[in-house]
Copies of this chain bind each other. A is one copy, B any other.
Amino acid sequence: MSTRDRIAEVALQLFSERGYDAVGVAELATRSGSTKPTIYHHFGSKLGLLETLLRERFEDWLERLADIAQYRHDLPSNIYRLILAFFQFSQESPHFVRLQWSLWLSPRDSTAHAAVRPFLLQQHALLEQLFIDAIPDHGNLRGHHRHYALVLSGMLAGYVSAAPQLGQTLLEQDAYRLSKQFMYGIYAL
């Protein structure tokens, strides 16, 4: 693994564990077995490091997500597969997932929030679009696609981020339960 990639990985881990502001460039250098000049050689600045990190990770993830969120006249299947994907992804890359959600709710005017914001808006837009596309088959979604997108991502953020803290693991069975719960919540309204 290249020095560049080692730096990015260490940064991802430390940022997700202690927060962007609380981690100094000097520590990133030593922990990745590298030096400050090397970091600035590759990423230009501390913020550039964060942005690069997020961009590279989000590219793959948003591509995956776009496929899963593609409406195919079976909304329950979409919802289930979405939730499952988030669960699996947070087991593949727990640091990245934790970082993304923590930055999502992090203070509006923080440096770090500004860096994720565009990606999270894209992600949110994918969810909204799913609900918009499903309107012809599910009339009671009309006018409420934003509401449902918010609820879904809120549910996911809270569940995925907080569950590990409470000793709860993310199982397929939970994904199934969540999707059922969410869908029946739609049918009923």
Q: In the complex the two chains form, is A166's CB within 8 Å of B180's CB? A: no
Q: Quick one: which of B101, B124, B154 contacts A155, CB cutoff 8 A?
A: B154
CB-contacts of A157-187 with B (<8 A): 157-159, 161-163, 165-166, 168, 174, 177-178, 180-182, 184-187
User: Contacts A155-B154, A158-B154 hold; do A188 and B178 have CB atoms under 8 A apart?
Assistant: no
Q: In the complex the two chains form, is B178's CB within 8 Å of A166's CB? A: no
- Interface size of A by Cβ–Cβ distance < 8 Å? 50
Q: In the complex the two chains form, is A181's CB within 8 Å of B102's CB? A: no
Q: In the complex, what residues of B have CB within 8 A of residue A104's CB?
A: 105, 162
Q: In the complex the two chains form, is B159's CB within 8 Å of A158's CB? A: no
A106 within 8 A of B: yes
Closest B residue to A100 by CB, please name it: B105
Q: In the complex, what residues of B have CB within 8 A of residue A101's CB?
A: 105
